[in-house]
Structure 1
């Protein structure tokens, strides 16, 4: 199943931040100790924590409850390092990185996830994610007949092409590139010398595979790609970014080639939403509020549940 891990990250960020704050078990939240003084006005720890409770209390309270429940579920499901490490590798692949340092930097910069180590990422983010994914798909049942029927009904939409391209500013340069390719220059060398798509240059111009429908490519680019045979090179194709020379590297259109994608789609259709999984776990858990101050907080927050 193709998993949407990166899309889940923002929803678990609050829990990670909360876990980090909660690690300091020695903090005395009822302390009237002065923590800052502004032009003679004292700011106490008690005032600071009261403000945090008033502003974020119900949201963080529910996140702590959910986090506790998910950790209990991880033990019940016997989820260990193997499953979490597989999730980590999948995340690296989705974000296009190979080393942990680069992964952490991208998570911090792009998704604002405050994780300082891979161990913290695995414990506070990936472990809960594995739990939710297992529970959301627990009742999924897909037969071979289901997959074959889906293929027959959606064959055109499912068809994918894998392409590489060279992006240049104007049609004159595109024609120059075509002349070079018709000569002795290889596509890889032309990418290196001419292409302005810096993201795909290290991959030899490869932008991966995309389906005939539901893609995010420029329409002119996609239409031209699907008209090409494997290893055929296009004439200059204009898009909003400039002009492209496109080569189709592969085409996936048979049932056997698309079976994995079909199963992924059907699994996603039958899976429970993460919010539903969280709600069911909350309802099934024996949650006893010991302090009357917090009685109205449980599930009161409108914060989006972890996914």
Structure 2
């Protein structure tokens, strides 16, 4: 998941404010010292979270008119988020004030709508696609690893893999990399210029597909690495659509999202009627 969309998803849990819209004098709490009305609650929430909440509500209204996010797409993105966060998923939900996965999905949907708007507005040429294919895409590998603290433990792990034990099972038992461990050690696709330890990259790119390394020392400990796929024989025409999506995605930044959102808001002729919230659409994206 792109860093900006993950940040938006985790930072944006204030949409519940809309439930207090049309606030009245109806009581939400009673005490011997006095009651708390729905209107009082709404005003406090408006002061604290009003601008961010209104921004998100307007964004979703405007974007939903032009772009669609299906339940399937939302479920797939949720599964990716769970993979990214691993064992920290439930704790993260609580940390950012989400009551449930369904609560989180409301904000995640907005991030996906912004992503679709941005992807449609970013243009790439055939030359850019071919250059990306030759210089980056074809050089990528997909790998997984098991990270342990010392060489003796790494040799023990390698012996178990050589004896036929499943990589994901051994990873689950031994690996200290909690994020990768949650995905069976999978690190996804990356190139030789990835922001990883240099010794790790050198060892990984020396492997052939389905080959498992000897223990590799890095600044983090000792790794056992397996390359599961390479792209060196990929056909440009076959992967062109994937390339276009990947290249556009690589250009997404908070600044780009802001620029595109301002265009969408202008096209929708949005006007803020509440003078207390007049600056709500000048906040930038929640990912910043």
TM-score, normalised to structure 2's length? 0.71
Asked whether 1:92 is paired with 2:70, we answer no
Counterpart-to-counterpart distance in 2, 1:262 and 1:115: 37
Asked whether 1:108 is paired with 2:90, we answer no
Asked whether 1:83 is paired with 2:70, we answer yes
Q: CA deviation at 1:273?
A: 2.4
C-alpha contact 1:132 1:274 (8 A) present in aligned 2: yes
1:228/1:62 CA distance change after superposition, 3 Å = closer
Q: CA deviation at 1:116?
A: 3.6
1:80-129: per-residue Cα shift (whole Å, max 9, x none)? xx6243133223134229xxxx998466235x1524462x555x324433
1:298/1:187 CA distance change after superposition, 3 Å = same
Aligned to 1:267, which of 227, 230, 248? 248
1:261-293: per-residue Cα shift (whole Å, max 9, x none)? 63234323389822223323443425262xxxx
Asked whether 1:186 is paired with 2:164, we answer yes
| Aligned positions of 1:105-144 closer than 5 A | 105=90, 108-109=93-94, 112-116=96-100, 118=102, 120-122=103-105, 124-144=106-126
1:113-160: per-residue Cα shift (whole Å, max 9, x none)? 524462x555x32443343233223333334333112334x33x8622
What is aligned with 1:277? 260
1:2/1:145 CA distance change after superposition, 3 Å = farther
Q: CA deviation at 1:49?
A: 5.4
Counterpart-to-counterpart distance in 1, 2:18 and 2:79: 23
Larger Rg, first or second structure (1 or 2): 1
Aligned to 2:60, which of 67, 70, 82? 70
1:106/1:262 CA distance change after superposition, 3 Å = farther
Alpha-carbon RMSD: 4.2
Counterpart-to-counterpart distance in 2, 1:238 and 1:197: 14
What is aligned with 1:10? 10
Asked whether 1:220 is paired with 2:199, we answer yes
1:3/1:147 CA distance change after superposition, 3 Å = farther
Q: Unaligned 5+ residue runs, structure 2?
A: none
What is aligned with 1:208? 188
Asked whether 1:161 is paired with 2:141, we answer yes
Aligned to 1:238, which of 199, 204, 217? 217
SS of match in other structure, 1:273: helix
Counterpart-to-counterpart distance in 2, 1:283 and 1:48: 32
Q: Unaligned 5+ residue runs, structure 1?
A: none
C-alpha contact 2:157 2:174 (8 A) present in aligned 1: no
1:194/1:287 CA distance change after superposition, 3 Å = closer
SS of match in other structure, 1:13: coil
C-alpha contact 2:141 2:190 (8 A) present in aligned 1: yes
1:18/1:167 CA distance change after superposition, 3 Å = same
Asked whether 1:28 is paired with 2:11, we answer no
Counterpart-to-counterpart distance in 2, 1:166 and 1:270: 31
TM-score, normalised to structure 1's length? 0.68
Q: CA deviation at 1:259?
A: 4.6
Counterpart-to-counterpart distance in 2, 1:117 and 1:204: 23
SS of match in other structure, 2:199: helix
C-alpha contact 1:148 1:255 (8 A) present in aligned 2: no
User: When the two structures are aligned, how many residues end up with a matched partner?
Assistant: 277
Aligned to 1:149, which of 123, 131, 138? 131
